[in-house]
Amino acid sequence: MITPDKKVLLPKHDISVLVAVLNYFHPLPEGIVSFLQQHTVPMRFGKKKMLVKAGAMCEYIYFIQSGAVRGFSKEDGKELTTWITLEHEMVSSITSLDIHEPCIENIQAIEDCVILAISFENLEKLYQKFPEFNIVGRKLLQKYYRDAEVRAYIARLTKAENKYRYFLKVHPGMANRIPLKYIASYLAITQETLSRVRKNL
């Protein structure tokens, strides 16, 4: 595990945003809210710090309270961004969560981030103790599967302009916030090509 810049351990921390997001998928009874209050850990990661490195075991699901995070792998010394996400989303390694194997990609903060983390162990306890939370888990899985379909669709597009137009459609808040080098890598085009497309649009 990567040690964050600062792990803030407080007897009571604010989980209201997390609860609001989860309530969108299914109403949470007080018992679940109390469990999350007791078992989530607030963390801070500075810009460019790693939440998890490829090859290491990921032991947490992270809820981004503020900031931006990306996943990336490396090939021949080049970083390949596979996804980018902003606050109020969850990030983790499905490989570590599902089949208990090391991560196949890096997870990195690309802005200063405030994050709530819950361990896989406590997540399993949450599912077992509160069966209704399995509905939340299912709907979250459906959402992130849809996100994976979007990434696959963008990857199949052949024209840089079409890639970027679709990116703007599904991620309108990222265009003027995320560094171009990460967006270009995510779209599998060069930064120069992306700059030209943006100028033409």
pLDDT at position 201: 85
Q: Which residues pair with 150 in a beta bridge?
A: none
Domain boundary among 136, 152, 168: 152
Q: Which residues pair with 45 in a beta bridge?
A: 113
**Under-70 pLDDT residues of the chain:** 1-12
Mark whether 192 and 112 lie in a shared domain: no
Q: Which residues pair with 64 in a beta bridge?
A: 115
Euclidean distance between CA atoms 155 and 163, whole angstroms: 8
pLDDT tens per residue across span 154-178: 999 999 999 999 999 999 999 999 9
pLDDT at position 3: 43
| Count of structural domains, the chain | 2
Mark whether 113 and 166 lie in a shared domain: no
The DSSP bridge pattern shows strands 113-119 and 41-45 to be antiparallel
pLDDT at position 41: 96
DSSP secondary structure code for residue 5 in this structure: S
Mark whether 120 and 143 lie in a shared domain: yes
pLDDT at position 98: 85
1 within a domain of the structure (yes/no): no
One-letter amino acid at 72 equals: F
69 within a domain of the structure (yes/no): yes
Mark whether 178 and 132 lie in a shared domain: no
What's the domain range around 194?
157-201
Mark whether 87 and 186 lie in a shared domain: no
